[in-house]
Amino acid sequence: MRLRALLAIVFGALSIAAASDPAERLPDPAQEAKAREIFRDVRCLVCQNESIDDSEADLAKDLRKLVREQVAAGKSEDQVKQFLTDRYGEFVLLTPSFNAWNLALWIGPFLVVLAGVFLLMRRLGGRATEAELSQDEARRLEKLTDPETR
């Protein structure tokens, strides 16, 4: 059992090491760190719910190379992300930028619920309240429910 656990750890470490090829890395550690930070926020378009930092897809490797080229050229994080969104669309970012369209998507469901509550209250609020029983109706009800009169 210990041997299996040890083998699992070794293979896990090897797969992590394989995920980041040293030949792809930038020579400047500061630039590489900046590129790695950007990797975490860029979606792999093949895997879709994985960052390009975690993905092994060929497209993710190409995107990592593209980001490294942009960082090496002195582009800022915002400029690199703008380049990627211009090329691949907003979907390429795991955390999309805040804009009016996103606001409508987030607030829309709440507005629909509020409109439903408003319509329900308006419909139920217009109902007439039940009228009280007349004296004659009250006497007849009492006769029906009184156990002594049966």
- Of 71, 52, 55, nearest to 63 by C-alpha is 52
CA separation for the pair 82, 67 (Å, rounded): 11
Domains of the chain with CATH codes: 2-92 (1.10.8.640), 100-149 (no CATH)
Give the pLDDT band of residue 47 (cuts 50, 70, 90): confident
Angle, CA 28 vertex, CA 81 and CA 79 arms, to 5°: 15
Residue 103: CB atoms within 10 A of its CB come to 10
- Of 70, 35, 71, nearest to 53 by C-alpha is 35
Mean pLDDT confidence for 55-73 = 91
CA separation for the pair 108, 64 (Å, rounded): 35
Q: 93 and 42 in contact (C-beta within 8 Å)?
A: yes
48: left (phi over 0), alpha (psi -120 to 50) or beta: left
Mean pLDDT confidence for 48-72 = 90
Rounded to two decimals, the pTM is: 0.56
81: pLDDT strictly greater than 90? yes
Residue 127: CB atoms within 10 A of its CB come to 7
Mean pLDDT confidence for 43-62 = 88
